[in-house]
Amino acid sequence: MSFDSPWRWTDGQLAGFRDGLAPLDADIRVFQMDVKRHASAQAKAERGRLARAVIDEWKPDLIYTSDDDALGQIGSHYGDGPIPLVFSGANRTLAEHGLEGARAITGVLEREHFVESVKLLRTLVPEAHRLAVLGDRAPHWPAVLARMRAGLPALPGIELARVEFTEHYDRFRTAVVECESQVDAIVYLGIFNLRGGDGSNMPYQTVQRWVADNSRRPDLSFWIDRVHHGVLCSVTVSEREQGLAAGRLARAILGERRSPAELPVRPTVKGLPAINLARARQLGLTVRSSELLSSEVVPTFQWQRD
């Protein structure tokens, strides 16, 4: 795992992977790279080294990685076998990871539902036309931004009026405040790699709670955990569908003796609408029954349940 557990995104991928692998019975060992806290290049490399030590000692029949950091740290060492590798949750393609043509790797790309998320936002805030995009400097966000821009023709009248990526939490907060007078809504990308004044990573829960407490701009992101932590809405990338598709690839490799090279890398396509009702009330928005009935409704902020 690139990230840590318990966390719905990470745990949901693993649960989906187990379901996709069934009826094969598997002994699964998990290594959590926890890159939200081990965020520097040096720290990630060390976590990757420790993960590879586990693999080399245990010698599994298959490696499953979730999210980009695990794929990047592990794939470069095992891409040509002999152990097959299946991934999910990857924003960056194999080519972007320097793994194009690796004969032992296949998996599932993560593709955000930008057009659908903006359409959901505009059912709640019809006047939202000018959007800001804010996030950290993780290397996969420029490609995500490019896909968002490619989707704009399907959203007449929508403009990405401001785009900013920063590694500094103070600068991020300043940008959020500045957006109050510049845009109608904010799209949040990465918030795991924002550094505080002492250079340490700010917990993403802290970042999102600050946003909810200090921003009056409606907001969206692309993942269900963000909605639980205060983002107004999203047509989310399904963590279960990501893991399920990866598990089915693993089953084809282990149970049907298929080669990873003959199993194409594809994204999942199913998105799940979600609305944070507490955030809607905080912003003075009325959510129609049609949206409530067709979406996963998150009634409170996560910190109210912890």
226-274 pLDDT tens trace: 999 999 999 999 999 999 999 999 999 999 999 999 999 999 988 899 9
pLDDT for res 294: 93
Kindly report the CATH number that applies to the domain delimited by 8-110+239-267: 3.40.50
What is residue 78's predicted lDDT score, i.e. its pLDDT? 93
Residue listed under structure tokens 């003959």: 262
pLDDT tens string 196-220 = 989 888 998 999 999 999 999 999 9
- Given a cut of 80, is residue 306 above it in pLDDT? no
pLDDT at 7: 82
Structure tokens at 177: 């405040």
Question: Could you tell me which residues come within 8 angstroms of residue 92 by beta carbon, excluding any fewer than 6 positions away?
Answer: 68, 71, 72, 139, 140, 143
Token pair for residue 178? 């500045």
Q: How many alpha carbons fall within 13 Å on the CB side of residue 167? A: 9
pLDDT of residue 17: 97
**How much is the average pLDDT of 277-285?**
97
Give the pLDDT score at 202: 93
Radius of gyration of the chain (CA): 20
Range 276-291 average pLDDT = 95
Q: Answer whether 37's CB lies under 8 Å from 265's CB.
A: no
The pair of three-digit structure tokens given for residue 271, joined into one six-digit string: 């998105």
Mean per-residue pLDDT of the chain: 94
Question: Which CATH superfamily is 114-237+271-304 part of?
Answer: Response regulator (3.40.50.2300)
> What's the confidence (pLDDT) of residue 35?
85
Q: What is the pLDDT of residue 39?
A: 76
What six digits make up the tokens of 174? Answer: 């300043």
Q: What is the pLDDT of residues 87-145, one digit of tens each?
A: 999 989 999 999 999 999 999 999 999 999 999 999 999 999 999 999 999 888 999 99
- List the 271-276 sheet strands across, edge first: 159-165, 130-135, 185-188, 219-220, 233-237, 271-276, 296-298
Quick one: pLDDT at residue 8? 84
pLDDT recorded at residue 18: 96
For the chain, percent of residues with pLDDT exceeding 70? 100
pLDDT tens digits, one per residue of 47-64: 999 999 999 999 999 999
The mean pLDDT value for 147-157 works out to 97
Q: Choose between 280 and 39: higher pLDDT.
A: 280
Q: What is the pLDDT of residue 285?
A: 97
Q: Could you give the residue range(s) of every CATH 3.40.50.2300 domain in the chain?
A: 114-237+271-304
Q: Which residue shows structure tokens 């990405």?
A: 160
Q: What is the model's pLDDT at position 210? A: 97
Which of 14, 66, 17, 7 shows the shortest CA–CA distance to 228? 7
Q: Which residues pair with 130 in a beta bridge?
A: 159
- Ramachandran sector of residue 93 (left: φ over 0; alpha: ψ -120 to 50; beta: rest): beta
DSSP string, the chain: --S-SS-HHHHHHHHHHHHHHTTS----------TTTS-SHHHHHHHHHHHHHHHHHH--S-EEEESHHHHHHHHHHHTTSSS-EEEEEESS-TTTTT-TT-TTEEEEE----HHHHHHHHHHH-TT--EEEEEE---TTHHHHHHHHHHHGGGSTT-EEEEEEE-SBHHHHHHHHHHHTTT-SEEEE---SS-B-TTSPBPPHHHHHHHHHHH--S-EE-SSHHHHHTT--EEEEEPHHHHHHHHHHHHHHHHHS---GGGS--EE---EEEEEEHHHHHHTTPPPPHHHHHHSEEE-S-GGGT-
Per-residue pLDDT band for 40 (boundaries 50, 70, 90) equals confident
Q: What is the reported pTM?
A: 0.82
